[in-house]
A and B are shown apart, each in its own frame.
Chain A
Amino acid sequence: MTLLVVAVSVLFVAGALAWLWGVRAWQLTAVAVIATPIVWSLPQTVRHESSLIRADLRMTPVEAKLRPPVAWPGYENVPLLVGILHLVPKDETVTFLPGGWLARGRTPAQARLDYLRTGWIRWVAFVIAPRVVVDSRRADWVVLADQSPSEAHLTGRHRWRFGRDWLVEL
């Protein structure tokens, strides 16, 4: 019904404008041929975009900027991202050392490799760029995932706790 009302309204307005401006009949036919698919899809397009806008508006600026678009249960730590953005200078590097359940049943090297391959780390690399995520102990900063500095036998200049994870400046 809405589609019909929209189509009739568009045709009415188009006809009136055509009469006003002296548009020829074949030009009007051409406009109708091109406009028909638009009118056909327009209600759905507008509905779809309205729902997207409403969903985006519900997010806070921090959520929109930092919350990962895909759920990675057990890995996500948005406060850690806020911490890295505030504390780590843009030209420095960050590495990750997983512990706790992330390293259970695996060698430290294998746990680290698996952790760096997760989608969560892809998201972290995006959010904190131009800071670079590296696979090296020579990084400027270390994130201890699910372990404390004492558990990791790591002493740094400064350290901050964000939930289960620690950020350590080396």
Chain B
Amino acid sequence: MIRGLFGLALALLCLLPLGSGVLLITRTWGALTPLLRVAVGLFVGIASAMVLLPPLLYIGFSPSLPVVVLTGLAVLATGIAVRVRSSASREGNVSLGALPGVVLGIPLVLLAVQAVDKPVDRYDGFSNWVLKAKLLLGGGLFSGALNHDAFGVASAAPPVSRQYPIGLPAIYAYVLRSIGDANVRIGHLFFVVFLATFALTLWALLRPHVPSPILLAGLSYVLWMPALRVQSLSDYADVPMSCLLVAAVMAVGLWAAGGHAGWLGLGAVFAAAALATKRDAIPFCVVVAAVAAAAVLRQPRRLAALGGAAVCVALTTVPWQLYVATHGLTNRDIAFSLTRTADHLSAVPFVMHDLVSFAKDPIYLAAVPLALFAAIIALRHERERRLAAGFIVLSLGTVAALGFVYLNSIADLNYLLRSSGHRTFMTPALIAAAALPLLVSRALAPNGLHLTRQVPPSAPSRRSSSPRPRRLARPN
């Protein structure tokens, strides 16, 4: 047990150079205090490793400590070079007080107690996600982990859904290697740490725009959500993908609202990590990109930057697509096709009916209806209409994207929706839950009161073409 905990700590520590490097490259490092740099750096490190490890695996490297450390040091060196060459952009120093730390810590500690003794007990856990991770434990310290035979050619019991991207199995294999002896029970603690760093990343992104009591309540809402708590230890990929997508939405939203270009870069990293986790992220990312494009439609330079970021994100999926194509891994449950969508159009009312019923499910704390209600109320403030309308479109868009995923099912649509809909709805629910503090604060704030706190004078980057953040009427 002690050895496992030490291994987990070591694995997380070795992800920090990678995360810190990405924060430096995106020039978001300066916006955070040291504690949040560690937390956000860890979350970004995990996301970056999920993007980088699969292509490294495909070309023969192992998801081991030396490989991750060397990759991290290379990224960190690039980040330091970027920081030296350009003055850091600053949008304020976001910190986390003791009380918020304790309040957010309680649900996470309770989850950690549950995680320490949690066995792998779900079918998709032991036949797909964790099995893939364990199959990547072979090979040497530097190379040979991805044994194609193990993934299917000679195996009599290969992992199901081998056509899925392997970002999550890769990072999990890295953690299990560090823990030693493939102790998947302690490995569950990794998902608790992932949730903790996700919550602190949301704090870092939203705190300049939401008063701390409201944000604290909002993040507690996220961390106490029954569906999130059950699913985060279930070994499924829906929670990691949803967390990464929510982080992408928030970072890109911050950029679209006038933040500096680094937030767009960070959002792109999160989106790429979501794509490396699960294929469902494809339509979700398309929706996020479309909403962001609509927000900056009248700003050609920003629109071009968004297009560039979208292309970079799409390029990160190429190694996976190539591997799937060259190894003949076929889709057996869902394959995106317009003709299939057209064939299933008659099922649209049935799919939407089920998705709406998931939205009302108490396990999601009615996050989607509550956030939509808050957004509709926020529409009454003229200066909040862009945010409120953007959220409404995004929220409905993600639900529609989920419906689109089901309309492309090769397997029986009814069975697929009934067996998996309650967990795949996590993405729209988590986006709504994360946006809830922002929307509620905008909906209930007295008219004319701007919520964002005073922004200290920033030293705009020489490369950054983004305008300065908005100055606000009064500090909070």
Contact = CB atoms under 8 A, between A and B. Distances in A.
A69 B119 contact: yes
B420 interface: no
Given A37-B366, A132-B147, A133-B157, A64 B220 contact: no
B194 interface: no
B362 interface: yes
B229 interface: yes
B220 A129 contact: no
A18 interface: yes
A46 B216 CA distance: 20
Nearest to A45: B226
Interface string B137-169: 110000000010110001111000000000000
Contacts of A11: none
Contact of B214 (A30, A56, A64, A130): A30
Nearest to A39: B224
A46 B436 CA distance: 23
A65 B185 contact: yes
A37 B229 contact: no
Nearest to A14: B213
A49 B114 contact: yes
A59 B229 CA distance: 21
Contacts of A18: 213
Contacts of B444: 26-27, 29-30, 33
A125 B440 CA distance: 49
Contact of A35 (B150, B182, B220, B226): B220
A105 B229 CA distance: 47
Nearest to A116: B156
A162 to B, nearest CB: 19
Interface string A35-60: 10110011011101100110011010
Contacts of B441: 27, 30
B217 interface: yes
A58 to B, nearest CB: 9
Given A91-B138, A122-B126, A129-B134, A69 B120 contact: yes
B414 to A, nearest CB: 23
A77 interface: no
Main SS class of interface, B: helix
Interface extent on A, as a size class? Answer: 35 or more
B21 interface: no
A107 B269 CA distance: 54
A91 B114 CA distance: 32
A38 B365 contact: yes
Contacts of B436: 34
Contacts of A34: 214, 217-218, 220-221, 436-437, 440
B131 A129 contact: yes
B328 interface: no
B363 to A, nearest CB: 8
B333 interface: no
A22 B218 CA distance: 19
B445 interface: yes
28 contacts: A17-B213, A18-B213, A26-B446, A27-B214, A34-B217, A34-B436, A37-B365, A37-B366, A38-B365, A41-B365, A49-B114, A52-B118, A53-B113, A53-B117, A56-B118, A59-B119, A65-B185, A69-B120, A93-B154, A122-B127, A129-B182, A130-B134, A130-B135, A130-B147, A130-B150, A133-B156, A134-B149, A135-B156
Which 8 A/B pairs are nearest by Cβ-Cβ distance? A125-B157, A129-B134, A69-B121, A135-B156, A130-B138, A56-B117, A126-B126, A34-B217
